[in-house]
Amino acid sequence: MQEWANQLCENRQFGSKMTDSKYFTTTKKGEIFELKAELNSDKKEKKKEAVKKVIASMTVGKDVSALFPDVVNCMQTDNLELKKLVYLYLMNYAKSQPDMAIMAVNTFVKDCEDLNPLIRALAVRTMGCIRVDKITEYLCEPLRKCLKDEDPYVRKTAAVCVAKLHDINAQLVEDQGFLDTLKDLISDSNPMVVANAVAALSEIAESHPNSNLLDLNPQTINKLLTALNECTEWGQIFILDCLANYSPRDDRESQSICERVTPRLSHANSAVVLSAVKVLMKFMEMLPKDLDYYGTLLKKLAPPLVTLLSAEPELQYVALRNINLIVQRRPEILKHEMKVFFVKYNDPIYVKLEKLDIMIRLASQANIAQVLAELKEYATEVDVDFVRKAVRAIGRCAIKVEQSAERCVSTLLDLIQTKVNYVVQEAIVVIKDIFRKYPNKYESVIATLCEHLESLDEPEARAAMIWIVGEYAERIDNADELLESFLEGFHDESTQVQLQLLTAIVKLFLKKPTETQELVQQVLSLATQDSDNPDLRDRGYIYWRLLSTDPVAAKEVVLAEKPLISEETDLIEPTLLEELICHIGTLASVYHKPPSAFVEGSRGVQHKRLTSSAGSGESVESPDTGSAAVSEAPPAVIPSQGDLLGDLLNLDLTPPTSTGPPPAAAPGMQLGAMDLLGGGLDSLMGDESEPPPIPLRTDTPQSPQPPHQSPSPPDYSPTELGGDIGGSPAMGAGFGAPPAAMPASFNAPISGGLDDLFDLGGGGMTMGTYIPPKTVWLPAMKAKGLEISGTFVRRSGVIQMEMTLNNKAMSVMSDFAIQFNRNSFGLAPAGPLQILTPISPNQSIEAALPLSTVGPVMKMEPLNNLQVAVKNNIDVFYFSCQYPISMLFLEDGKMERQVFLATWKDIPNENESQFQIKDCHLNSDAASNKLQGSNIFTIAKRTVEGQDMLYQSMKLTNGIWVLAELRVQAGNPNYTISLKCRAPEVSQCVFQNYETVLKN
């Protein structure tokens, strides 16, 4: 459509000076017949006028496909304007008239050999836009000639055509060798041809992430950098984006590339500037910090970013969103540019809020006085939303820069004295956080806060004030009176306030038991007997039982010392930040979400990571351990099971309408990209202590979890990660420590001689995938007559949940919908449950539900447990089932031998688990073939003293690699398997999978 619009605009320059609007005037009946006659006229001008009328009719949506043969006949002309118009028509109607479109093939072939390069390019461009399978094979020869045309304009057009043809028929493009020709064009003498070749190869590589089309090496990079200086601005963007995917060999090469890319920072086009910043941000990771050039580069990056902020507001916003990411990664770049982010009176609100956020990120002891003066000024503005954010920002400054806390509290008190309602309320909310950060330091201001109790009408402010009164009840003489005043309208309060009030009064009772007995009984009665809110009722029962059975325990629970709140609670999770830095200048950097979260059908989207050198003194994956040869990524932030009833109870009772990916979770829930050696494996590790699994329906109330802050990757101790998922505490060791150089067991005969792997390998045909038989997941007696049995299968890379729904009730069942709870690997329905007809009594129906792995993640017990809610016209039913972990094994899980060896050596010994598989009567080749059907790939095979040893790898959908050594002794039905993985919790599931596959 874009191509069509471009050509339509281009045609304007060929037209006569008079306006073309006459072609769009309404016409009389018999119009098609008249146009047909004019199209077949001998006069060229009349013919051209007729084609213009046809295009005008087509543009306003009239069906003029009946004129197809007549318009195609007009192709035989030397008039470039007429030819363009006919090609425009052809692109639009070729799909609906494929048989007629074949008539045009000869003209394409002829036009591709025309003397005029514009006609040759026009022909090849139109060929790429005609998406008809029947025609594509006829167009290969003309395209091949145009790719080697003497005119660069034709070559650059042909390069883009290859990408379009690949989208229609990838196999044809590969068979015809066009990809190799495209790679050759990277060495072309014309920079625009190089840029288009890079753009085409990048486009193809995105849809085929494992194809390794852009095989970048120093020679290719040199050619791209040479072309960079001479091609158009959009060509420069293509080349810079391609450079960003390259991993330099060492810091010298990295510096050389940075030096040649730096001039792009002064380009007039902001997209070129951002693409250059992306390349420099990525390659800076390779540079040692003590290098003089590193400091120079930091200074050079600031001015172009500042310049972007002088553009129009929309561009400013995009620049600010990107700067927000850059500042989180390298705040030193803009630390002296604070004034640029000061808000102007005429900035739109979206620019103001973004600037405010960056000001906080850049706040430091050196500039805090300046920042606070600005923020205080903003707090007197007229825009309510902006004022609220400004007041919150003052609180964030206090938490971030400890030396400024006193000044911030003083500023907040000044703002409270203004008595502006919403300012007072925001100030109280942030002061609560300051109390949490600096206990026993600023409590003297409580009296001032209590004076404004009556004016609070927003739930968050009321809840904050109640928390302060409850927390510091022993310092407030009339605390019971203050809380009692809130209790009068208890049922009219929001849930947030009710819960806070309940906790505050229980705290008060534990501190002053004799004076507040009636008050606590009153609130417990209101919460448990008069309330229909399950959260409130449950918390009330918990407190009631605690207070009545063990007041000492109640004191330890309710008055427990609270953890200090963190410095930056809103930082983007490190692995996600790394990925977003690699997407600077794209939509991902504006949304602050990875492309997989908002691009439909994003299975092909590759997760990108920053690469750091061993000598840089800071390892991206291991920021605290200094330089390391292979470093681990910080644990991904996994949501805790805060909502004890689980998301299943929020089941939307209307059938879903979209089959796209689920909306992205909050940044804390994003899983970062995984590197080859499984740096992101810690995704299974969330909190330091694992909460219990989510009960779907429970009669026993459970205590709510305290708010969990995760400002930085926690240091896991071995015991914290131990028996979590089963196994000895030692299994968790190694997550927080640097990897061992080489396991001691490599000297033992069992694993010895692993280096010989490269000379060996197992052959043979692979068997089909093992599909577990269906089992009953939901018995009819528990679901009002609905019985669901099912299994999981993986076909062509797609996981499916295959179910049989049996209606054993007396009434018809319809309106089915399904939802999953959060689970260990983010399994979620990829679309609605397709049951299109009602199920009559005693009838059963088969359903296959495709699944994606981009849903919310939370560790389950066992790991492969899946909690499901199914809704129909009768009720909502809950059940849980377990999926075989092999459903998550990817088809590209075969590791290179060298990588296998390095990874095996790198994973600590503590992460190795051994298991016995008994009563298995297969030889090693048969076992290997059978396992390959489940995407467990044999890398190599060797025989030691009559014992076959298979070395195998598999890769899970969340990037975890599992390595295995399977030992098979001829005549012995018992196998031994050793599994190594950076997340040893998965080993038990993998072993069970081996056992199931080999024995069935």
Say yes or no to pLDDT of 236 above 50: yes
Higher pLDDT, 98 or 597: 597
CA-CA distance, 861 to 880, in Å (whole number)? 11
CB atoms within 10 A of CB 445: 17
* Token code pair at residue 170: 């990838």
Proportion of the chain above pLDDT 90, given as a percent: 12
Q: Which pLDDT band holds residue 620 (cuts at 50, 70, 90)?
A: very low
Per-residue model confidence (pLDDT) at position 601: 60
pLDDT 10s digits, 372-381:
888 888 888 8
Say yes or no to pLDDT of 953 above 90: yes
With a CB cutoff of 8 Å and minimum separation 6, the contacts of 413 are: 427, 445, 448
Higher pLDDT, 770 or 237: 237
Cβ(655)–Cβ(817) below 8 Å: yes
In 716-784, beta strands by DSSP E: 775-778
HSE-CB at 487 with a 13 A cutoff on CA atoms is 20
Dihedral pair phi/psi, residue 646, rounded to 5°: 80, 160
Lowest mean pLDDT among 285-289, 566-570, 852-856: 566-570
pLDDT 10s digits, 754-811:
343 333 333 334 456 778 889 999 998 888 889 999 999 988 889 999 999 999 888 8
CA dist 217 → 204, 222, 227, 246, 845 (Å)? 19, 9, 16, 8, 56
Looking up tokens 């060999």 gives 249
Per-residue model confidence (pLDDT) at position 323: 93
Per-residue model confidence (pLDDT) at position 205: 83
Per-residue model confidence (pLDDT) at position 605: 54
CB atoms within 10 A of CB 87: 24
pLDDT 10s digits, 422-476:
888 888 888 888 888 888 788 788 888 888 777 888 889 889 988 888 888 888 8
Per-residue model confidence (pLDDT) at position 502: 92
Say yes or no to pLDDT of 633 above 50: no
> What is the helix (H) or strand (E) element at residue 803, kind and residue range?
strand 798-807
Pick from 317, 316, 228: which is nearest to 276 by CA? 228
Pick from 951, 945, 944, 963: which is nearest to 889 by CA? 963
Per-residue model confidence (pLDDT) at position 5: 52
Say yes or no to pLDDT of 8 above 80: no
* Token code pair at residue 491: 């049922």
Q: What is the largest CA-CA distance in the chain?
A: 109
Lowest mean pLDDT among 69-73, 646-650, 696-700: 696-700
CA-CA distance, 574 to 329, in Å (whole number)? 9
Q: Which pLDDT band holds residue 612 (cuts at 50, 70, 90)?
A: low
Per-residue model confidence (pLDDT) at position 724: 35
- How is residue 595 annotated by DSSP? G
Say yes or no to pLDDT of 688 above 70: no
Per-residue model confidence (pLDDT) at position 611: 64
Say yes or no to pLDDT of 484 above 50: yes
Mean pLDDT of 614-637: 37
Q: What is the mean pLDDT of the chain?
A: 77
Taking each helix axis from N to C terminus, what angle separates 178-185 and 152-168, rounded to the nearest 10 degrees? 140
Taking each helix axis from N to C terminus, what angle separates 551-558 and 534-549, rounded to the nearest 10 degrees? 130
Mean pLDDT of 198-206: 85
Q: Which pLDDT band holds residue 331 (cuts at 50, 70, 90)?
A: confident
Lowest mean pLDDT among 49-63, 718-732, 932-946: 718-732
Cβ(159)–Cβ(235) below 8 Å: no
CA-CA distance, 721 to 704, in Å (whole number)? 22
Torsion angle of alpha carbons 872, 876, 882, 883, nearest 10°?
Answer: 40
CB atoms within 10 A of CB 46: 14
Cβ(76)–Cβ(114) below 8 Å: no
pLDDT 10s digits, 495-528:
999 999 999 999 989 888 888 888 888 889 888 8
Higher pLDDT, 738 or 13: 13
Higher pLDDT, 7 or 778: 778
Looking up tokens 């007629």 gives 100
Cβ(361)–Cβ(320) below 8 Å: no
CA-CA distance, 878 to 876, in Å (whole number)? 7
Dihedral pair phi/psi, residue 754, rounded to 5°: -65, -25
Cβ(859)–Cβ(686) below 8 Å: yes
* Rg, C-alpha atoms of the chain: 34
CA dist 254 → 157, 171, 682 (Å)? 32, 36, 30
Q: What is the C-alpha end-to-end distance of the chain, expressed in Å? A: 53
Looking up tokens 């461009």 gives 125
- According to DSSP, the β-strands at 817-820 and 828-829 are unpaired
CA-CA distance, 96 to 110, in Å (whole number)? 24
Higher pLDDT, 385 or 670: 385
Per-residue model confidence (pLDDT) at position 48: 80
CA-CA distance, 884 to 887, in Å (whole number)? 6
Higher pLDDT, 754 or 819: 819
Per-residue model confidence (pLDDT) at position 18: 46
Higher pLDDT, 165 or 77: 165
Proportion of the chain above pLDDT 70, given as a percent: 79
Mean pLDDT of 600-610: 60
Looking up tokens 């390892």 gives 619
pLDDT 10s digits, 41-72:
777 778 788 888 888 888 888 887 778 778 77
Mean pLDDT of 674-689: 35
CA-CA distance, 556 to 549, in Å (whole number)? 13
* One-letter amino acid of 590: V
Q: Which pLDDT band holds residue 569 (cuts at 50, 70, 90)?
A: low
Q: Which pLDDT band holds residue 319 (cuts at 50, 70, 90)?
A: very high
| Cα angle, residue 404 at apex, residues 398 and 410 outer, rounded to 5° | 80
With a CB cutoff of 8 Å and minimum separation 6, the contacts of 893 are: 935, 936, 937, 953, 954, 955, 961
Dihedral pair phi/psi, residue 865, rounded to 5°: -80, 140
CB atoms within 10 A of CB 227: 25
Mean pLDDT of 174-202: 86
Say yes or no to pLDDT of 35 above 60: yes
Per-residue model confidence (pLDDT) at position 322: 93
With a CB cutoff of 8 Å and minimum separation 6, the contacts of 251 are: 286, 287, 288, 291, 613, 615, 616
CA dist 686 → 80, 332, 333, 924 (Å)? 64, 30, 32, 38
With 0-12 / 13-18 / 19 or more C-beta atoms within 10 angstroms meaning exposed / middle / buried, residue 892 is exposed
Pick from 961, 957, 985, 966: which is nearest to 902 by CA? 961
**SS3 call for 846:** strand
Per-residue model confidence (pLDDT) at position 829: 93
* Token code pair at residue 225: 């950098």
CA-CA distance, 823 to 881, in Å (whole number)? 12
Per-residue model confidence (pLDDT) at position 732: 35
Higher pLDDT, 490 or 10: 490
CA-CA distance, 437 to 562, in Å (whole number)? 10
Say yes or no to pLDDT of 668 above 60: no
Higher pLDDT, 898 or 641: 898
pLDDT 10s digits, 108-152:
778 888 888 888 888 888 878 877 777 777 788 888 888 888 889
**SS3 call for 583:** coil
Mean pLDDT of 323-336: 89
Mean pLDDT of 797-826: 90
